[in-house]
Amino acid sequence: MHVFNLAFVAASVLALQAAGQSYNETLYNNYNYCQGITPVAKQTYQPIAAAKLLKVQVMMRHGDRTPTAVLPGKQVDYDICSNPAELTSVGGNSKTQSPLLKPLITITEDNPFADIFWTGNCEVGQLTDRGQNQTFQVGKDLRGIYVDLLKFIPQFLDTSKLYVRNTYVWRTRVSAENMLNGLYPLPCRSPGVEIEMDTFPETIETMTLNTACAKGVSIYEAFIKTPTFLNFYKQNYALMTKINTILGVENIAQTNETLNGDTLMPRYCNNIPLPCSATNSSDCITGDEAAQAIAGTMFYAHGPLRYEAGAEEAKRLTSGPFLKTLANGIRGTVNGTSGVKPFEFYSAHDATIDQNLAVIADPDTPWPGYASTLILETWELEANSTTGAKAGDQVVRALFEGRVVPANPNLNCTLDACPLDTFLSFIESYVPADMMSECAM
């Protein structure tokens, strides 16, 4: 395995410096894009002292995956999906499937279209074996905290306590299934109990920027013309040219204006050799170059929410609808609204987590890695003369990369125990009153 965390930190510094932004290296300590960090009970996780936990909301990025597009040329063998997860059973462990079916991704040389696809056993954008194991482990870690340590949710599955939602994308559904296998393995479930997994149709999805929001889309499109991005582009042009030439896409307009980090991520994280030139086998993409390309690729999505004049509006149009969901969930629990469940789990994408971090966190908080989690906990405090807390005070704690989230300076609180009213007022200030009106061009 490449020493990705160190290389990525260096690349992230370069990306931020190229954009003329500051860099807080403490936020990147132990960061590894290939493996997000979830807190571990009694090791990196401790409850708030003298307090009662009221609500937990977990947002998880899906695990390690294959590229979301196939570039020209058969330069790689993605034989890393031996457990096709289209029908992964929510039970027992991450390897359990239907006893009657064994689905396989089949890629054969005699297929007339074989030359336009990679070899191996993976579909485009599919969760890999590594990704399945990662998300299964997240479930085990969450169980260690919220079942075993805190007794917040019961030892045996009670569906009245658990809400699950995923996007209408294969890899997020399967990631959710694997997480649930870790959180509630088969011996901890009664026969016949079903876990409902909510999914919005893609047309009305709110956990990522909805393309029906024309103004939001336009902000992202306009970002590539800003001084921030143009400076970044200039700093990375030589690397972009090398990567795209080696990948054979230097003359393809749709791909030759990016660093194509998405193509390199699965190779890097699964220790698959990085690509070399078809005409010069010694001209290869190095590990450091791959790390810089991946960091730069994320800047396309990370930047519009943080830099330039349109950032605040971009946050409203990308994060606002889902922030409303989170705020409503917290309010429903603390107000005792019938049917609101105390533990909410959202299986989504890196952009989902990043869009929320853009609102609540320090701008230099790192991009969400595979199977990373953002956890919001709502607590009720006991009276404490030392801290000045009054009995019944309610606070929100936010955890990302296994630690307390460094707060956005405008939040006016720290996220180890942010007063509930302060937190809700802040995130709800990003919720459009009339979404479609604000989205109109």
Closest CA to 85 of 125, 38, 141: 125
Task: Give Cα 304 to chain centroid, integer Å.
Answer: 17
The pLDDT > 70 percentage for the chain reads 88
For the residues 158-182, what does the mean pLDDT come to?
Answer: 95
The pLDDT > 90 percentage for the chain reads 70
The pLDDT value recorded for residue 82 is 83
pLDDT at 9 over 90: no
Confidence of residue 6 (pLDDT cuts 50, 70, 90): very low
pLDDT in tens, 41-52: 999 999 999 999
Give CA separation, 334 vs 98, 342, 377, in Å: 40, 9, 12
The pLDDT value recorded for residue 251 is 80
Cα–Cα dist 120/86, whole Å: 17
Residue 237, in any domain of the structure:
no
pLDDT at 320 over 90: yes
Burial class (CB in 10 A: 0-12, 13-18, 19+), 436: exposed
pLDDT at 292 over 80: yes
Residue 270, in any domain of the structure:
no
Residue 252, in any domain of the structure:
no
pLDDT at 21 over 50: no
Average pLDDT value for the chain: 88
pLDDT in tens, 246-272: 998 888 877 778 899 999 999 999 999
Cβ contacts of 41 within 8 Å, gap of 6 or more:
141, 144, 145, 148, 149
pLDDT in tens, 71-126: 875 578 999 998 654 434 444 444 444 445 566 788 888 889 888 898 899 999 99
Residue 242, in any domain of the structure:
no
Cα–Cα dist 277/285, whole Å: 9
Residue 251, in any domain of the structure:
no
Closest CA to 365 of 425, 313, 409, 318: 409
Residue 357, in any domain of the structure:
yes
The pLDDT value recorded for residue 13 is 46
Residue 89, in any domain of the structure:
yes
Cα–Cα dist 371/347, whole Å: 9
| Least confident segment among 145-154, 318-327, 342-351, 357-366 | 357-366
Please answer whether residues 54 and 161 qualify as being in contact, where contact means their C-beta atoms are separated by less than 8 angstroms. no
pLDDT at 297 over 60: yes
274-300 per-residue burial string, b: 16 or more CB within 10 A, e: under 16:
bbeeeeeeeebbebbbbbbbbbbbbbb
Q: Could you tell me the residue range of the domain that residue 65 belongs to?
A: 4-213+308-428
Residue 225, in any domain of the structure:
no
CATH number at residue 362: 3.40.50.1240
Total structural domains within the chain: 1
The pLDDT value recorded for residue 26 is 57
